Amino acid sequence: MKKFIFFLFISLSLQPIAVLSADTQTQNTIQIAPLKYEENLNLGDVKEGTIDVMNPTTKDEMIQVEATSLKMTGINGQLEFYNDQKSQGFEKFITFDSNQFLLPAGEGKKVKFRLGIPISASSGAYFGAVFFRLVPDSIDSSESKAIATGQAGTIFLLTVGQGDVRSGKLDSFNISGNPFSKKTVFEVEQSNLSKYNTTPRGTYLKPTGTITVKNIFGKVKSKQEISSYYVLPETKRIIKKELESPYLFGLYKAELSISNYPGDPVITKSSYFVKLAPAILGLITFFALVIFTVISFVKPKLRKK
């Protein structure tokens, strides 16, 4: 079983798959759109679509099209790509007009795909990716360095039929950061408790909500949206948000409102934190010294009178 490990970026959610360099000096890249494809399908449905592939280089490239299933691992949203040999995986549902084609320099192509969901398939979610890989012109075994091929891909998130299982849990809501630092970090730990190969299959979570920061008077000082994150089955993920302000001073309350999926019930949680902004602390210290100096100067004169 062939595995590829790719990483999602920040604030990812599921982000573009990395393009590998074909040469350390001359980087061959291909560009694709969309980077993510979500679809709700019924058993027996057939869906057709296209993926735009662009060759921005000055060289004609031979492109190989490959499909693979994927899983999510780790708390940062790493993706593991594999061929599903034991059950009906994503790669068994998708076909292309051509699995290999020549893409001239500076030109693009709309690659047609066809999704066909068997009646016998299990309801639930299927996850996969379509890779467009650069095929080397030639392979010379006498070369001392390995030949790497550039590739890019589109991630597919499919929800099939009715009765899919969506089971999520908010594990924790933590706040970190030095009280004297202008940066405060909020961490939302979200778990997807569903399984990949149950009947029906578990689907993905899309944590959606807000983190609202209020002062002791209830005035809103900051509001940050949580969206565009994905948590696949059997995975725990930490979503980080940062608040950067040099002028917070005092006791604050952070309120989290989040749902496992848009439209699902909202879960709330709150926590308190203290900020002692150096700039504000410096001003307070300055005025305190001024007042102390004035009192020290005036008080002896009052005693004499």
Residue 247 maps to which CATH number? Answer: 2.60.40.10
Average pLDDT on 247-276 reads: 93
What pLDDT digit, counting tens, does each position of 213-222 carry? Answer: 999 999 999 9
Global confidence as pTM: 0.76
* Confidence check: pLDDT of 267 > 70: yes
According to DSSP, the β-strands at 208-215 and 100-103 are: unpaired
- Residue 5 is predicted with a pLDDT of 32
**Could you tell me if residue 296 is inside a domain?**
no
- Is the predicted pLDDT of residue 143 greater than 50, yes or no? no
Do 88 and 177 lie in one domain? The reply is no
Q: If you average pLDDT over residues 22-51, what whole number do you get?
A: 81
Asked if pLDDT for residue 103 goes beyond 90, the answer is yes
Alpha helices, H only, the chain: 278-304
pLDDT at 1: 38
| Mean of pLDDT values over 63-78 | 89
Does residue 288 form part of some domain? no
Same domain membership, residue 204 and residue 85: no
Q: Give the pLDDT score at 13.
A: 41
Burial state string for 5-38 with b = 16 or more CB within 10 A and e = fewer than 16: ebebeeebbbbbbebbebeeeeebbbebeeebbe
Q: Is residue 85 part of a domain?
A: yes
**Domain boundary, last residue among 160, 190, 207:** 160
Range of the domain at 17: 4-160
> Minimum mean pLDDT among 8-12, 46-50, 94-98, 178-182: which range?
8-12
Check whether residue 147 and residue 92 sit in a common domain: yes
Whether residue 262 is found in the same domain as residue 190? yes
pLDDT at 64 over 60: yes
Radius of gyration of the chain (CA): 27
289 lies in some domain: no
Write down which residue in 117, 141, 160 finishes a domain. Answer: 160
For 23-27, 43-47, 182-186, 290-294, which range has the lowest pLDDT when averaged over its residues?
A: 23-27
- Do 17 and 133 share a domain, yes or no? yes
Least confident of 66-70, 163-167, 204-208, 235-239: 163-167
Q: How far is CA 53 from the centre of its chain?
A: 23
**Could you tell me if 143 and 28 lie in one domain?**
yes
Q: Which residues pair with 242 in a beta bridge?
A: 185
Answer whether residue 305 shows pLDDT above 70.
no
pLDDT of 92 reads 92
Question: Same structural domain for residues 122 and 213?
Answer: no
Predicted local distance difference test score (pLDDT) of residue 296: 74
Number of separate domains in the chain: 2
Phi and psi angles of residue 148, each rounded to the nearest 5 degrees, phi first: -105, 150
Position 300 confidence tier, pLDDT thresholds 50, 70, 90: low
Residues 104 and 136 in one domain: yes
Is 122 among the domain residues?
Answer: yes
**How confident is the prediction for the chain on average, in pLDDT?**
82
**Residue 231 sits in the same domain as residue 182:** yes
pLDDT band for 146, please (50, 70, 90 cuts): very low
What residues pair up with 39 in beta bridges, in sequence order?
158
Percent of the chain with pLDDT over 70: 77
Of the pLDDT bands very low, low, confident and very high (cuts 50, 70, 90), residue 151 is: confident
Any idea which residue has 């009715």 for tokens?
Answer: 162
204 or 137: which leads in pLDDT = 204
Assess if residue 303 is contained within a domain.
Answer: no
Task: Say yes or no: 138 and 217 in one domain.
Answer: no
Of 65-69, 164-168, 241-245, the poorest mean pLDDT is in 164-168
What's the pLDDT band for 163 if we cut at 50, 70, 90?
A: low
User: Where among 160, 185, 217 does a domain terminate?
Assistant: 160
pLDDT at residue 16, rounded to an integer:
36
The whole-angstrom separation of Cα 261 and Cα 101 is: 39
Q: Tell me if 294 is assigned to some domain.
A: no
- Between 191 and 289, the more confident residue is 191
Contact 176, 267 (CB under 8 A): no
User: Is 99 within a domain?
Assistant: yes
Q: Which amino acid is at 151?
A: Q
Residue 296: Cβ within 10 Å count:
9
Say if residue 215 is in the same domain as residue 71: no
Residues 173 and 261 in one domain: yes
Residue 52's alpha-carbon distances to 55, 85, 107, 231, in angstroms, are 10, 29, 11, 26
pLDDT tens digits along 113-126: 999 999 999 899 99
